[in-house]
Chain A
Amino acid sequence: MTELVIIGGGPAGMSAAVAAYENGIRDILILERDKALGGILQQCIHNGFGLHKFGEELTGPEYAWKYEQKVQELGIPVKLGTMVLDITEDKVITATNEEDGIFQIQAKAVILAMGCRERSKGALNIPGTRPAGIYSAGTAQKYVNRMGYMPGKEVVILGSGDIGLIMARRMTLEGAKVHAVCELMPYSGGLVRNIEQCLNDFNIPLKLSHTVVKIHGRERLEGVTIAKVDERRKPIAGTEEYIPCDTLLLSVGLIPENELSKSAGVSLDRITSGAVVDQNRQTSVEGIFACGNVLHVHDLVDYVSEESEIAGKSAAEYILGQNQAEKVHIPVKTDGKIRYTVPQVITEKKDISVFFRVADIYHNVTINVYDDKQEKVFSRKKLKVAPGEMESIVLKSAAFENAAELHFELEVN
């Protein structure tokens, strides 16, 4: 029996482990399939991490190293090169590595911290062939930054998420020509600072409301045809433009990696593709917690660390049987303009931070929270909200004292 098993040794898993240790748990094990700790940060060599958490600007590997050092100092055991294959509702974990073969561990509590993966090109419906030279932006990032290998010289990027923007700059600095970044939506999903320093600095055009309509080439990519799209995101005939290129990068979003959560019987949220959790980041299965990108996609790793500290602390309290808070069950609902919230359910009477994302760019909004009796329990104005930026508010416990349900609504003025 192991008290706490953490699946995944990225920033989420490491932060959760440190928090659990600091809250009194000693019998912890981190299982990580890669040969090193750090998760995806190992390949995010650009800076911009840690401003919020450490007050200094770090690169991805430097941010990960801060936590890796803590894990080492505290002597928290880690099994690297270990792939978790299955988790049951009773918290029996099946894993495999070269040394131990296939083995099982019974845990008292489990923290899911498996991160996310990129949406793949298979998920996209682009007509034409499937020649070599089409990569997800994250795969290209791994090639360039970890393996020191450039996938191509003439590049088009589909999707303006942050990873795509970062790779536009990275490949340009390494001597490639990035012809365009095409974005289906009329706005970019990336941070404005990345549009400024990754595209504008290098005069790379950002083509909003554009998509790739055809892929050309048999063995190797030879070019793509792009076109403008209308409000319904359908290509407009006559706007096609051919761009010769040997590389197409897809930066079309991330999805939480939840195959294991499903086998553990954890309920998933249709919108986030992550687990449904309460304010402690506990899933629908008691003693199984989730944090980081496996729960919902974060744009800033600093928030991943914060969320994971909550999960680690809560797991510790669960193991030690310390959680004495008064129990309630208050589902949190959204109006569609607000797409989702984390947590999706409140189970304790205490002040709670609620994180959420909106569906579109809205200006001059009021974030309102109502209870089931239509009583307004929270209200705050904001100049602008955007899908690319996660929002958060703090709900005082007094606000939902008598509520059976809470409704998050966005009023657009």
Chain B
Amino acid sequence: MTRELTCIICPRGCGLKVEIEDGKVVSVTGNSCPRGVKYAEDECCNPMRTITSTVRCEDGRVISVKTDRPIPKAKMFECMKMINSATAHLPIHIGDVIIEDVFGSNVVATENA
């Protein structure tokens, strides 16, 4: 089976052609760098996405956060539920962990408050 993908790892957005046999990636073409191959393999077997969002602070304002590594794509909305039910405690510094252990990642602050 052949699958056509767009690599989302960098703004270049290479068009990838992926050959899949028995659920395994056997060849990737169209990538301009090795990260494209890794992306194609992940995307076909276990697609992952980084989530960026905001968390409400105890004083009512919001701060920006991200998962510090990609999480399974299928868990995006569950991750959003966890982010939206959390409260961040001030003061907050970039990189502070706001929620631990979210589908293999930590949700960390991306701004100071």
Contacts and interface: CB of A to CB of B under 8 A. Distances in A.
Interface of A: 42, 45-48, 51, 57, 59, 61-62, 65, 144-148, 170, 173-174, 191-193, 195-197, 201, 299-300
Contacts of A59: 52, 64, 66, 110
Contact of A146 (B7, B13, B62): B62
A193 B11 contact: yes
Contact of A145 (B6, B7, B9, B54): B54
A174 B55 CA distance: 12
B110 to A, nearest CB: 4
B112 interface: yes
A148 B61 contact: yes
B54 A196 contact: no
Contacts of A195: 6
Contacts of A300: 11
A299 B13 CA distance: 14
Contacts of A57: 50
A62 B110 contact: yes
Interface of A, secondary structure class, is: helix
Contact of B8 (A62, A65, A148, A196): A196
B110 A173 contact: no
B73 interface: yes
Given A148-B61, A173-B51, A65 B80 contact: no
B94 interface: yes
B20 to A, nearest CB: 18
Contacts of B53: 45, 170, 173-174
Contacts of B7: 193
A61 B110 contact: yes
Chain B, interface size category, equals: 20 to 34
Contacts of B49: 197, 201
A42 B54 CA distance: 12
Given A62-B110, A145-B64, A45 B13 contact: no
27 contacts: A42-B111, A45-B53, A45-B64, A45-B66, A45-B110, A46-B52, A47-B50, A47-B66, A48-B11, A51-B10, A51-B11, A59-B64, A61-B94, A145-B62, A146-B62, A148-B54, A148-B56, A148-B61, A173-B53, A192-B6, A192-B15, A193-B7, A193-B8, A195-B6, A196-B5, A196-B13, A299-B11
A191 B11 contact: yes
Contacts of A170: 53
B11 A65 contact: no
A148 B62 contact: yes
A197 B43 CA distance: 12
A64 to B, nearest CB: 9
A192 B6 CA distance: 7
Interface string B61-103: 1101010000001001100100010000000001000000000
